[in-house]
Structure 1
């Protein structure tokens, strides 16, 4: 591997070691002002309801691909925090619709604004054209890695350090079986 080929990986490594970048990445998944809504699952439900208006528990389960019991727990926590409300269907008393309260709508609006501001701040060193190029490059890299990566079922499929050309690093802990960075 030549130095020219190594340099992008070195720059990625440096980027991920920048405290500001790591902070921004973590904060981009959290609401700035609402500590109660910071859990990832709760945020997913809030964003879904913001976009879909009102859904049943079954629809939330289907949309987010989660277990019914998980959806019930998430909705219960959000309801306890005043972020969602349940409304009985006028047509079928067995059906309950879940929707955002005004407080829930404000929480998502604030979180989205925070994410927009964070993104603007992180990438303001790049021109609009450079941001477009970066997006295209990262999209291409993600698509290529997706094609190269095997499907594995959790950590059981991960292989440790090997001498057969697979990526190995004592700090990384190995890669999934069948995943080879070299062609």
Structure 2
């Protein structure tokens, strides 16, 4: 039975976005061996020599507790190092290791393959339209006032 029998077309959009997001995360990690969030953290660190954990958190727009968890796991795997800033012990500095750099390089091809397969049978025009629509939805969500 179609989902629209139980909810409005507008509500189905929300449902489909949630399903795609959940499925995409699971499949992405299965294909690449790393979560999208961790790969994003590694990619940002790849571009910086060293960055404070709080600045990194602001760039990825993930809550600070989640960033801490991700960085601890990446540190355990030898992909990043963390240290206290000598001048200000409250600041944690994060740096990508050689192992992390190697992982980023290896993940590029896996990520490209995943994206290619995900967008198979979607025309360039449809991709542009989808990107535009998702951008507008994102802007609308950002404008929603919370209580």
Other-structure match for 1:105 = 101
Q: Considering only CA atoms, is the larger Rg found in Structure 1 or Structure 2?
A: 1
Query: Under a length normalisation based on structure 1, what TM-score does the superposition of the two structures give?
Result: 0.50
Structure-2 separation of matches of 1:103 and 1:48: 15
Give the aligned CA root-mean-square deviation in angstroms.
4.1
Higher helix proportion (structure 1 or 2): 2
**Deviation of 1:25 (Å):** 3.6
Give a deviation string over 1:150-173, Cα, whole Å, max 9, x none. 224xxxxxxxxxxxxxxxxxxxxx
Q: 1:31 to 1:85 in 2, by over 3 A?
A: farther
Structure 2 gaps of 5+ residues are: 1-7, 59-63
1:116 partnered with 2:108 = no
TM-score, normalisation: structure 2: 0.59
- Cross-structure match for 1:27: 27
Partner of 1:60: 53
Find the aligned partners of 2:36 and 2:129 in 1 and give their Cα distance.
Answer: 32
TM-aligned CA deviation for residue 60 of structure 1: 1.5
Q: Determine the structure 1 residue equivalent to 2:133.
A: 137
How many equivalent residue pairs?
Answer: 132
